[in-house]
Amino acid sequence: MEIEFTLNGVRKRVQVEPNELLLNVLREKLYMTGTKYGCGIGECGACTVLLDGEPVLSCLVLAADVDGREVTTIEGLARGEELDEVQKAFVEEGAVQCGFCTPGFIITAKSLLMENPNPSEEEVREYIKGNLCRCTGYMNIVKAILRAAGVIPQTP
Amino acid sequence: MALEVLERRPEGRVGREALTIVGRKTLRKDAVAKVTGRELYASDITLPNMLYARVLKSPYPHARVKSIDVSKAVEMGAVVITSQDVPQVLFNPRLVSIPEATYKDWRVLTDRPLFVGEPIAAVAAETEELAQRALEAIKVEYERLPAVFDAIESMKPEAPKLHETIILKDREVKVERNVACRLEIAEGDVEKGFKEADVVIEREFRTNRRYHNQLETKAVVVNLEPGGGVTIWCTTQTIHNTRLLIHEIFGIPMNKINVKKISLGGSFGSSIHTNIIVPIAVALALKAGRPVKLVYTREEDMHDHVSFQMIFRLKLGAKRDGRLVAGQLQAIVDIGAHQIQAYPILGVIAGWWVSLYKLPHVKYEGIAVYTNKVPSCAFRGYGNPQTTWAVETLIDELAEKLGIDPLEFRLMNYVGEGDIFWGQGPTVKTVIRSCGVEELLRRGAELIGWHRRPKPGQQKGRFRRGIGMGRGFHTSSAGSPVPGSVIDYSGAMIKINEDGTIDYITALMDHGGGSLEAIAKIIAEELGVPLENVNIITADTQTTVYDVCTHASRGVYAGGATALKVARQVKQKLLEMAAKILDTYPHALRIRPDPKRGQGVIYVEGIEGKEITIGEVAMTARHKNWGTIAAVDSHRTEAGPPHFTAYFVEVEVDTETGIVKPIRVVAGADIGTVINPDLARGQIHGGFAMGMGMALLEDTPYDPDTGDLVNRGFLVDYKTASAPDMPRLKDFTVFFAETYEPTGPFGAKGLGEGAFNPAAAAIANAIYNAIGVRFYELPITPEKILQALRGGGENV
């Protein structure tokens, strides 16, 4: 079947199988490899993308379901070389190590800040609990999100 | 923190004023690619005309393949390989040790699987879905054989035998009672030592079997080159050892095998060896004559690698005045179905143990045992976190029995400056030249409020808080003054481009901790150029000299020392050319970074006008045909110094649910000169999260009926720490000791593993302080806590 949707602001038309997952279509058919496979069962959050502005796990969404809708992946956040505030904070607060979970975290953080522009530390921790990171112990990630929200200042 | 450290450095060593880049917070070079989704990992590679592969794995823990019918799969258009299609050689996928310490018992594909998940056959097809369907069309007739899941059971005469013979170097070794290998060490007279002791305690400890859960599952892409060569992108901690192994198995000349460096989505030891999917994908690509991609699912990945599980019988004896006099350790190591590094781990367990505390009389016995489980490999700390947990638990107990403050007891007995350190077991020894243990313990105790901690078991009420500590270390590389059984050297090439920018080319992998960022800073510091000018090149085995592996917390220390050595050679050439141009002498020249010009500037101190940028020298060298200013070299460090760490943790135990929450952490690290302060702190945060998993959450038990993991490989039933489990930002303090390692680049040591090693021990000791119960089996689950509390507070 053919679906048509907006991916990072660009109209895309693509042939998919009815049982094909959004994650695989993004990665294998559209070469948007920033969205990562980590578990395939909705446990790790590495494949998080925005669907009509809401965070979804693209490993649990059928590609057919995004027909006519709008998808934002990690590749859609920066404007050219200019990073989004959350991306910038992740770079500057040392929130990136191996980087494999990073796209999922940044998309989740974007969603949080759209819902709640001034989150508390508890709210940040709670919101990102579905995203797993094995490198950072989350500390600098929490710091980066609070910093992107302007809740705390940049670490010198 | 780091700047403060450098400011107060003793005279005669590199002071802050002399360092312009090392020790300062800088932005990591790969961060922009990683936050924009542009960073490529092995599973992101797609090649034209590529096939997708899937692996058929044994559903039984022990079986013989009686027949295998692949005709349906072939009819479907798939390329299929079985054990008959791969070279019939036994190998060991980890090539970090010398051949005399490398036991071989692996095959690419087997017809006698020894664990659920062992590869039997593999297929490649046009799509992953077709590959999966073809896989399901393969008919295998198995003869089930009895299996064993416990190391003690496995050594009994009636236990099923896993391996008849294995290979050590070029000779066959008969396997008796499933013992893969053993190692015994004795120093002094342990019987005499225990007789002299006033207090002796002996305990048995059982560790968990932890899964790495690196975010990226194992992946490989193989391209075929004209003339029978292969190009490989894969999850690996060592591109050169991957090339060596593919050469060893397939006989392809090494100059026709190119392994590409590519970002690794975490590893923690799970790719210290060449993952089995790599030779499988090579075999498929060779048969298909087309590129092949193979990416494991999470469930497959959990059936691919796991930590070593240990049973320790540990006995320590001390005099009434607090001096330790004797120690005895038996370590029974459950290695799973195959050897990756069973023999080396027996050596390092002994090393970690004797390097924690001074023991005049020691006796050690290590036994590695086969079981029908996923093969064990290195997992951050390589046996050190397990050993440290046992030792630090018993040290706490001994101190209590002696009536000595556990902190003082540790200070009386620790192995420190001037002592011998067994960096990687008995064959890798060095003298400790820098040690911040006392500073870590004193300052950490002050910051946590050690002397105000409650008395164990005195609390009432639902929520009980306790403070515990654990100290430890890890080696920085496996370097030492003489060659040991572990290979340890690095390689680097540095060249100055015609515009004054620098290319740093190395096979050394960065797993994400920032080793290469730190090394770029070391190079920038030495050459006097702005950090932005140092480019870390994405290299491969064809364009780099050998580098053993990124493991053993050796990246910054050994890789950095190698880069520094090469940078000095480059600097010498550069200054010779600059001296010719400026009409002076190389040794009269200095270099400083000039951020305004974006260049390193070479100058004569005190004489105006006698200066030239590095770019101008390089460009002049081109026009005058002097050649490229470059150097390439290998380097082995003459030491493998310990970096020390200490954790002080406050936990809250909910006595109704049994849930333990770490609520406050003070972590101190002696890593010599701190090169990347924010990334170093990040290593410690991550080390603690993993330590929490080890202490409280993680295990992969087996179901003896199915012979499979109880969780079947599903991540939903393998819990690791998530964000809300961590202490709040203000409650996690990290500090660095003021030390300088004379053998390290700019005084630096490693950190990656020391950041983790004592964390679980500190949490366990904090639980004891809160509820008055000690646990000798990990993880300390809520069930165990509730059971212990119901049992009236008996140790379990």
Q: How do residues B95-127 score in pLDDT, each as one tens digit?
A: 999 999 999 999 999 999 999 999 999 999 999
Instruction: For chain A, give every residue range classified as CATH 1.10.150.120.
Output: 85-148
In our burial notation (b when 16+ CB lie closer than 10 A, e otherwise), range A65-84 reads ebeeeebbbbbbbbeeeebb
Which of the four CATH numbers 3.90.1150.10, 3.90.400.10, 1.20.1250.20, 1.10.150.120 does domain A85-148 have?
1.10.150.120
Helix axes B759-771, B677-692, angle to 10 degrees: 50
**Does B719 touch chain A if contact means CB atoms closer than 8 Å?**
no
B 75-134 residues with CB below 8 A of A? 129
What pLDDT, on the 0 to 100 scale, is given for residue B791?
A: 81
What pLDDT, on the 0 to 100 scale, is given for residue B9?
A: 41
What pLDDT, on the 0 to 100 scale, is given for residue A155?
A: 84
Contacts A101 to B, Cβ<8 Å: 215
Give the residue carrying structure tokens 């720490």: B721
User: Looking at CA atoms only, how far is residue B205 from chain A in angstroms?
Assistant: 26
CB within 8 Å: A98 and B46? no
Classify residue B377 by its DSSP letter: -
Tokens matching residue B120: 């039997």
Which of the four CATH numbers 3.30.1330.60, 3.40.50.300, 3.40.50.410, 3.30.365.10 does domain B489-635 have?
3.30.365.10
Instruction: For chain A, give every residue range classified as CATH 3.10.20.30.
Output: 2-76
CB within 8 Å: B681 and A75? no
Q: Which residue type occupies B772?
A: G
What pLDDT, on the 0 to 100 scale, is given for residue B253?
A: 98
Domain spans of chain B, in order of start: 42-145+215-266+271-302, 309-481+639-790, 489-635
Contacts A34 to B, Cβ<8 Å: 36-38
User: Looking at CA atoms only, how far is residue B7 from chain A in angstroms?
Assistant: 17
Are B92 and B180 spatial neighbours (Cβ–Cβ below 8 Å)?
no
Strand order in the sheet with B324-336: B179-187, B361-370, B324-336, B309-318, B199-206
d(CA B232, CA B180): 31
Of B42, B688, B693, B684, whose CA–CA distance to B307 is shortest?
Answer: B693
- Report, as ranges of residue numbers, the positions in chain B whose pLDDT lies below 50: 1-16
What is this model's ipTM? 0.98
d(CA A29, CA A39): 20
* CB nearest to A44's CB, from B33, B215, B732: B215
d(CA A50, CA A36): 14
Strands (E), B476-538: 490-496, 502-505, 534-536
- Residue B177, phi then psi, degrees to nearest 5: 50, 35
The CATH homologous superfamily for domain A2-76 is Beta-grasp domain (3.10.20.30)
CA distances from B733 to A153, B466, B725 (A): 18, 17, 16
* CB nearest to B723's CB, from A46, A97, A128: A128
CB within 8 Å: B37 and A32? yes
What pLDDT, on the 0 to 100 scale, is given for residue B17?
A: 52
Average pLDDT, chain A: 97
Tokens matching residue B304: 């691919």
Strands (E), B608-753: 611-613, 629-635, 642-654, 660-670, 732-736
The size of the A-B interface in CB pairs under 8 A is 184
* CB nearest to A46's CB, from B215, B511, B684: B215
Are B45 and B534 spatial neighbours (Cβ–Cβ below 8 Å)?
no
3-class DSSP assignment, residue B574? helix
Q: Which residue of B has its CA nearest to A17?
A: B129
CATH of domain B42-145+215-266+271-302: 3.90.1170.50
What pLDDT, on the 0 to 100 scale, is given for residue B425?
A: 84
CB within 8 Å: A98 and B729? no
Q: Which residue type occupies B260?
A: K
**Does B44 touch chain A if contact means CB atoms closer than 8 Å?**
yes
What pLDDT, on the 0 to 100 scale, is given for residue B6?
A: 38
Number of Cβ atoms within 10 Å of the Cβ of B275: 27
Do the domains spanning B42-145+215-266+271-302 and B309-481+639-790 agree at the CATH topology level? no
What pLDDT, on the 0 to 100 scale, is given for residue B4?
A: 37
B 287-326 residues with CB below 8 A of A? 295, 297-298
What pLDDT, on the 0 to 100 scale, is given for residue B457?
A: 85
CB within 8 Å: B689 and A155? no
CB within 8 Å: B511 and A98? yes
What pLDDT, on the 0 to 100 scale, is given for residue B16?
A: 47
CB within 8 Å: A28 and B46? yes
Which of the four CATH numbers 3.30.365.10, 3.90.226.10, 3.40.1390.20, 3.40.50.2300 does domain B309-481+639-790 have?
3.30.365.10
Contacts B265 to A, Cβ<8 Å: 36, 98-100
d(CA A59, CA A24): 8
3-class DSSP assignment, residue B433? coil
Q: Which residue of B has its CA nearest to A144?
A: B729
